[in-house]
Structures are given as C-alpha cells and as structure tokens.
Structure 1
Amino acid sequence: MGNPSISVITVGMNHLKYIKELYKSLFDKTTKPRTSFEAIYVDNCSTDGSVEYLSTYYPQVTIIKNEEPYGFGKNNNIGVDAANGKYIAIINPDIRVKAGSLDELYNFMESHPNVGMTVPKLYNVDGSHQYSIRGFITPSLFISRILTHGNDSSNDIKMRKYLCKDIDIDKVQPINWAVGAALFISSRLYRELGGFDLDYFLYMEDEDLALRVWKSGHPVVYVPTSHMIHNHLRASSHIGKKAWIHFKSLLNFFKKHGFQIPDYAAKYIEKH
C-alpha cells in the first residue's frame, strides 16, 4: 500500500470525552472518509486515560506521547513530522466530522492545485451555524472584541465584519482565515512554511498560518460542502492565565505582521 492521501492530526490534553466522539466519526462506517487517510494523535501529557482508550479501541491510530507539555503549534508540528499524507488535516479533539467532510476538502484541493488551504463549514452542537470565518485582527477590533466579551452573537458593527456575518455561508469563496479547529492544507506547503510558528505558545497560530499561506501566493478557501460539528472549547474569553497568553500572542502577531493586515480575500475576489 502507498502513502495515505490525508493525514489527520489531532492534539489532545485530557480531552477523552471529546476524542471518543471524534474518532467514532472518523472510523464509523457511516461517516468514515472514502479517501485514504491515517490518524495521528499527539497526546500532551493527558492523565484521563486518553492514550489507553485509543490504544484499546482504535489501534490503527498512531499515538505520539509527549514527555512534557507543549503549545498548540509545536504539538501539531510534531504530528505533521510523523505524517505521510499528501494533505494535512488539522482536526481538534472537539470536532466531529460528518460523512464526506474530508472527502469534499480533498477533492476540492485536488481540483484547485493553486489553493493553499481550505476550511469546512462548522456547526455548533445544536446544529446552528458557527461563525468560524474571520477577518484579520486589528487593535481596534481587538478592543471591540473585549468590549463585547468575545460574544459571537454580538451585533456590534465591527464584530459583524470581523466575524464575516454577512457572507453567503453556502458559497465557496476565498476568506482571510478561519478558526484552527479544522484546517486542510497540502503537506508540501505546510512544510515549506515551516508549519505553525513556534513563537506562539497558544492562540493566534491559526491566523498567522493563514496569513502566511496568503503571503506565499496561495488563497485560503471556505468550502461549505464540507460539514463538521465543533464543540467550541473557548478558554480565553474571561480574564485569567489563558487570556493573558492570548494577549501576548496578539502582540507577537502585530510585531510580525503590522497593525493593518490587507484584506487578502477581497483583493483576490477583485482580481478574479
């Protein structure tokens, strides 16, 4: 047998109840991708029996056990280092893939070789649409995000634009970036870009990666025919350690890319 077409990379840290649902959706005969794939799980020092569970019920999953905890980006890069697929699917543990979801992303990328990265349509657990598509952050948008307490249901004008609430959610289209719960990118491009930037320990890695994909000359595309459920495990909307980490990552992002990022998606649409 040759190499798989897709390498599904998942990082978990005490996410047992979520990975049970994720891997069921990946391997159940009703939802399993038709496209050949491998599943790689990077365990970030869990103590909840995650590794034992996967070893028992999903022995086909490649498990990488960390001896010390690492950040989101490094963990995913570790998983990609072990990957053999033509494409990398970064799939968080709080995702459930629906039938055909990875196949849709794979087929789209195969048909559009210049596309750098694709993302699916995400749903909340109650079946409602999740606002996963984003505009690039600016200092004023960050302040608005704080004032609205990170509430995606806010109708603040700036937040509507940032959360891309007025786009056609059923239309294939270029986007600036999307939350990193489910990303699909060619293995070659991921490696050329150096994967996730390790200067970020947690947060902003997904936005940074999408921006670097755009800067490399390849669009990021939303493919709404691919459906996944995201039980969003938000942890930085309240003041605390993770909120402080998020703020430091944001400052790092501005230092690397400046305070005003071009609207790459809009510019791409204008040219095409």
Structure 2
Amino acid sequence: MPNPVPILSVIIVAYKSRTEIEACLASIPRRIDDRAVEVAVVDNYPADGTSTFVRENFAHVRVIDPPGNVGFGKANNLGFAATTGECVLFLNPDTVCNETALTALVNRAQTEDNLGVISPRLVQADGSMDLACRRSLPTAWDGFCRASGLAARWSRTKWFAGYNLTHLPEDETYDVGAINGAFMLGRRAVFNQVAAPTRHAVFDEAFFMYGDDLDLCARIGRAGYRVVYDGRYDTVHLKGQSVARDYDAMSTAIFDANRDVYLKHFAPHVFARWKWQLMFGLWKRVALWRARRRGHQRVRPV
C-alpha cells in the first residue's frame, strides 16, 4: 500500500517573485520514489500577482497569503505548519531544481540518522558557485580576512579562506558549519526537534530576513546533527532576483543579522557581546568601504 504521507514538502517564500517563480515551480517533480511531493508558496507580496499566477497555473500548489510581509522566517514557519511531508525543503523562488539532485538529497536525509540539513552546490546564472551554500560559522579572524581582502587573495589557503571554505573542492561532499537559506533540506523530525519555543517555529522569527539560516544551522549543530554540503549535485540559484538591489542597505542588513546570531549563540556575558558588536561593526564598515572603491563588484557580505 502506498505511503500516504508526502516524501517531501517544498516551502517557498515569495516576495516580488512573479517573474521567477514559474521556472522554480515547474522544476519541482510531483513525485519522488513513487511518493507525493507537496509544495506550498507563502506570498509576502501578493500585490505583484504572484499568488494569482500560482493559483491559476499550478493548481497542485498550496498558496498561503499572510497578513502583509511577515518576514522570511515567519513565512517559512507558516509553510512548515501547513505541510506534512516526511522531509522538508526550504527553497527560494529564484532557484531551478532538478529531480536527480532532489532525489539524492532526500534519500540521504532519510537514511543518515545524524544528518540534520543538507544543500547541493548552488550555481549562479553565470556558472559560478554561490559561496554561501557552504560556509563555516564565522569567527573574528574570518571577518578580518574577508574585510581586508585576504580571503579573496588567498582563496585556496585554509588559514585565510575559513568562512567560505574555498580551499575545499566544490564537487565533493563534507560537513560544514552552515548552508544557504535558499536551499535547506532535512527531515521534519529534526526540524521539530530544534524548533524555537513556539510550536512549529523552525526559524527564529526575531530574524526578519537575514541571519535566520545561520541561526538554524547553529541550532542543528548544537543538537548533535550534521550540516552537510553535497557538491556532487547542483541547483541553479539566480541569486539576488527577489531582494532589493540596494547593495549598501542589503549588506548592512546581512552584517547586522549575522552579528545578532553571534550575540544569541556566542555571547554568554557582556564582554563577549561587546567583542562581537565591535568585530561585526568593523567588518561591515571596512567591507562596504572596499566595495564602494570597486564599484560593488568584488566584496560580498555572504
């Protein structure tokens, strides 16, 4: 008798995503290993017609309309509470999946008990790797190396490239500190175990848009599960399509969110809080200064 529980729930948070969500939804298979795949779209900006388009063209997709833009984390939590799949994939609307990768990663999540969350290699439109799909939890030294340019200059040296792990091969699989919120796949049981105090709150809703993926990976690691990158499979990530193009504002928000992750997890006393506030503040200012000098082409916050 077929298992009535979907093998996978795909949760997509949309924000001004009308032009990109069609390719994303069309790339998601309806079944994996002869079990259903359910899809839910949580639309944080229905004014652009995304919800209407999805309802008219993808009848099998559940559309959730929150009361306004509730943020990335809360919208994902709404989708999580509304779905039932054995595995869950939190997916950005500016991605294009492939069945081979999804099947392989779902099978790994199902069979590796200590696997908490996994991501494939995310490939951008120009063919380059989205570096945020495999990274460590950043240290003060990592911040200095990135802000100063040492990480870019010595990208193949472990000592300087510890954050984006560019010294490691792209096409292999290994444990990392964190993966990108654009693609996070794991078992529902694991997400339930590490959920924030509010029921079904997998993502900490204190993080409105950035930092929530880093926070979730930190909680998964602390619970004893592995955060895994599998570069043997890839997914297209048209990074930046669904967020504002204002580099300074976006970068500032990312730096501040990552600082707040560290204040939450790694600042047990007031001196530690001062340290992380100072380090992330300096990292942000130097990185933005270098980016302005280079026309915002070379320095990235994540």
Shorter-chain TM band:
0.7 to 0.9
Q: Give per-residue Cα distances to partners, 1:112-161, cap 9 Å, x unaligned.
A: 1221111111111233333221111234433544455xxx9665667632
- Structure ranking higher on relative contact order (CA contacts 8 Å, 6+ apart): 1
**Which residue identity lines up with residue 28 of structure 2 in the other structure?**
L
2:234 alignment partner, one of 215, 227, 238: 227
Please name the residue that 1:127 is paired with: 127
Is 1:239 aligned to 2:262, yes or no? Answer: no
Report 1:139-150 matches (<5 A). Answer: 139-147=140-148
Please name the residue that 1:5 is paired with: 7
Cα distance in 2, alignment partners of residues 59 and 221 from structure 1: 33
Is 1:258 aligned to 2:266, yes or no? Answer: yes
Structure 1 gap segments, 5+ residues each: 261-272
Is 1:201 aligned to 2:208, yes or no? Answer: yes
**Which residue identity lines up with residue 22 of structure 2 in the other structure?**
K
Please name the residue that 2:26 is paired with: 24
Counterparts in 2 of 1:167 and 1:66: CA distance versus 1, 3 Å:
same
**Which residue identity lines up with residue 25 of structure 2 in the other structure?**
Y
Q: Percent of aligned positions with the same letter in both sequences?
A: 24
Is 1:65 aligned to 2:74, yes or no? Answer: no
Q: Give per-residue Cα distances to partners, 1:205-249, cap 9 Å, x unaligned.
A: 111111111100111111223320001116588322x33332332
Is the Cα–Cα contact under 8 Å of residues 73 and 198 in structure 1 kept in the other structure? yes
Is the Cα–Cα contact under 8 Å of residues 45 and 67 in structure 1 kept in the other structure? no
Cα distance in 2, alignment partners of residues 137 and 173 from structure 1: 18
Cα distance in 2, alignment partners of residues 46 and 207 from structure 1: 27
Is the Cα–Cα contact under 8 Å of residues 45 and 66 in structure 1 kept in the other structure? no
**Which residue identity lines up with residue 191 of structure 1 in the other structure?**
N
Cα distance in 1, alignment partners of residues 229 and 181 from structure 2: 13
Provide the alpha-carbon RMSD of the alignment: 2.5
TM-score, scaled to structure 2: 0.76
Aligned-partner SS, 1:38: strand
Cα distance in 2, alignment partners of residues 36 and 146 from structure 1: 45
Counterparts in 2 of 1:75 and 1:159: CA distance versus 1, 3 Å:
farther
Is the Cα–Cα contact under 8 Å of residues 236 and 246 in structure 1 kept in the other structure? no
Counterparts in 2 of 1:113 and 1:55: CA distance versus 1, 3 Å:
same
Is the Cα–Cα contact under 8 Å of residues 3 and 85 in structure 1 kept in the other structure? yes
**Which residue identity lines up with residue 4 of structure 1 in the other structure?**
P
Q: Give per-residue Cα distances to partners, 1:180-226, cap 9 Å, x unaligned.
A: 11010111111221111112112111111111111001111112233
Please name the residue that 2:79 is paired with: 79
**Which residue identity lines up with residue 107 of structure 1 in the other structure?**
N
Q: Give per-residue Cα distances to partners, 1:12-69, cap 9 Å, x unaligned.
A: 0111111011011115x8xx74552100000003321111111111010000001221
Please name the residue that 1:176 is paired with: 177
Aligned length: 254
Structure 2 gap segments, 5+ residues each: 196-201, 273-302
- Which has the higher Rg, Structure 1 or Structure 2? 2
Q: Give per-residue Cα distances to partners, 1:75-134, cap 9 Å, x unaligned.
A: 101100001101110110011002312111111122212211111111112333332211
**Which residue identity lines up with residue 205 of structure 1 in the other structure?**
D
Cα distance in 2, alignment partners of residues 155 and 72 from structure 1: 34
Cα distance in 1, alignment partners of residues 45 and 123 from structure 2: 29
